[in-house]
Structure 1
Amino acid sequence: MSLLNVRHMARWFVRPFVGQERSYWRAVTACFLAASTFWMLNALNKVYTTRIAYPVVWRYDARKYIPVQPLPPEVAVNVTARGWKLLRKNLKLDVRPAEIVLGRLPGTKFLPGTALRPALMGAMEGMQLNYVLTDTIFVEFDRLVTRRLPLMLSPSADGTALPFLAQFSPESISFRGPSRVVSRLSSPYLVHLPQAPAGSSSGSIRVPIGGPKLVTTDVQDVHIRLQPRPLVNRVVSVMPELHNFPIGQAYTIRPVRMLVEVQSFREDTARLDLAQVRVLLDYGQLHAADSTLQPLLTPTKSPIRGARLLTPVVHVSLTSPKK
C-alpha cells in the first residue's frame, strides 16, 4: 500500500471526529466506560479454572522449635472459581490462609502435596480445589535453646592481643536460637571493637552485639570500658650482625652477645618470634678515641610491643694475625 493511500485512509477515519464540541467527546467517553464496565462484569461472573498461589500459615510449637530454612508462605494449586473470587484473592481481600500443622519435630523433613489438601479445602471459600501443584515441601527444624556466655574482647585481625583490658556491662549475654548453631558459639564470646579508640587507650564505648543467623540476644549492645593493660618484659641474648668490618683483619668484640629487653602482652608470649630481634654493629661508626661501637637495634613487628637495647656500647680490639 502506497503512502498516499495510507493518508487517505487516516483522513477518512479521523474526519468524523474533527470539529466536534466538548459535549460530544464526553458522550463518547461515557459510552466507552459503560461498555468496558459491562464487559468486565460479564467476565467476572464467568467460572474459570486456573493456577494460583494460595497463602498458608504454619502451626508448630514455637517455644521449642525453630525453622532453620524459611517456610514457604504460599503453595501452588489448581482451582475452579468465579472471576469475582479470583479477583479478591489476587487483591488479598478477605482471604483466609490455610493452616498447616507440623508435628513430630524436628524429625519431620518434608510434607507431600497431598497432605496439604485438607487444610486448603477447609480454608477456601467459594473456590473448588482441583489438585495441589506443589509436589513436596521440604522443611528443616531444630530445637530452640538458650545459652548464656561470658564476654571477652576479640584479638586483632592477625591474632595478637589488643592493648586494652575490657570491662563489660553486662558481663554475659544470653543467646537464643537453633541448637546446632548456639552450641558452636565460643565461650567466652568474642566482642569485636568497630575501630581502635582514638587518643588515650582508656575510655568507654558502646559496641553492638552481632551473632549468627537465626540467633537472637537479650541485649542489642554492650557497654565496654577500656583500660591500659600491663606488658610482660623478657630479656633475650642476641648475637650481633657485623657490617663493614675489615676483611683479613683479626678483631675481638666485648661483649660478644647483646642483651635486648622485649615487651609483649601475656597472651602473646607463646607466639613471640625472637628471630626478628636483630642487632647490628657497623664498623664504619667506630669511635677511634675509645674503640667503641654503639649497637643498633632494628625495628620489630607485632606481637612484640616494644624492644630496648640493654648493651649500650661494644668494645672492639684489633689484633695482629698470627705468623
Structure 2
Amino acid sequence: MRILQVHQINQVAYTYGEDLERRGHYVEVYEPSLVGGLAPLPVKMAFMPWRVLDMRHVVGKLNRSHFDIVHIHWASYGVLGLASRIPYIVHCHGGDVRHRLQHPLSRVMLEPVLRRAAAVLCVTPDLLPVVRAVRPDALLSPAPIDRERFAPAKNTADEPSRPWTILLFARLDLNKGVDIALEGIVHFVKRHVGIRVQLLDWGSLKGEYRQRYGRYFEFIPLVVPGEVEQLILSADVIVGQLALGALGLSELQAMSCARPVIASFRYDDAYPTPPPICQAATAEEVDERLEYLFRNPEMVMSLGRQAREWIIENHDHRVLAGKLEELYQSILLEK
C-alpha cells in the first residue's frame, strides 16, 4: 500500500510510518503549516490563506496516482479528506474534538469531515462518546508506545543516589487537573523533608505556578523527544492528569518505563484489563497514594513491572501498526 500520514502529533505518524514501512508499505508523512495555529482566532484567520496555500501542494497528490489511502491525525485537518479522491481516515487526538464538537460553528465544520471518512479513530476512550454522537462506528485506536525506547533503567545499582523524586508529568493547564495534583503534592511534601518535585515549565499556568512554587520545586524546560525517557527515569513516581479520566501519552510512556503512575482513569471497559495505576481524583487521594508508595518501595517496583506488562499488552507500537494495516486493507477491499 501507498500511505500518506498527515500531521505528526506526538510522533504518532512517524511511529506508525516506520512500522508500516517495515511491513513493506510505502509511507510519506506530510506536516501542514502550523503558522498561527496557536494564536488567537483573529490572528489564526489572518494566517489561514497562507495555510490553505501550503495545503494546496498535497491536495494534488490525494489520488490513486500517488497514494492508496490517507490517515489524517487531528480532525480539523480532515478538510484535506473532503478534497481527496482516495479513502481517508480521521484520527482524533483530544483538543481537536473534545470541545469543538460541542461548539455549533466548529461542529458544522467537523461533521462533514467525520461523516465522509472511511473510518474515524479516537486515541483515548474519553473521546469516543463525543465522536460517536457524529460517527457511531468510531473506534478506539490508542497511542503506540515504543517499548524498546521507553524501557526501565538497565543498571539501577550504578545510579547515583538522589532524593526521592515526584514528576508532575502534565501540561500546567486546569483541564489537566494539575491544581488538584499540586495541592496533594504540597500536602505530602510538607510532611517529608528532602523530597524533590519536578514540574514541566509548560502550559497556561506556568507563570503563576513558577511564582508560587519556584523556590521549592524544579521547573523543567520542555525536553526534545529523544530525552523524554531520561526525564521519566529520573523520577520515582509520576503524577499524571486527573481531570479527563483517561491516560495520555505521558502516563503511557511512564508506565512503559516501569514507573508507578498516579492518575485518574474512568474507562476500565475500554481495555481487556484496567491499567495498573494508583487511582486518584482528589488532592487527598494524591497525597495518600504518594504516602503509600513512599513507605512501600517494594510496591513501587511491583506496580512499575505491572504497568510495563500492561503497556506491552495494549499499546505496543508494532501490534497497533498491524491492526492499522488490517483496517487499511479492509477499507480498500470495500472500495
How high is the TM-score relative to the length of structure 1? 0.18
Q: Which has the higher helix share?
A: 2
Higher relative contact order (CA 8 A, sep 6+): 2
Q: Which has the higher strand share?
A: 1
How high is the TM-score relative to the length of structure 2? 0.17
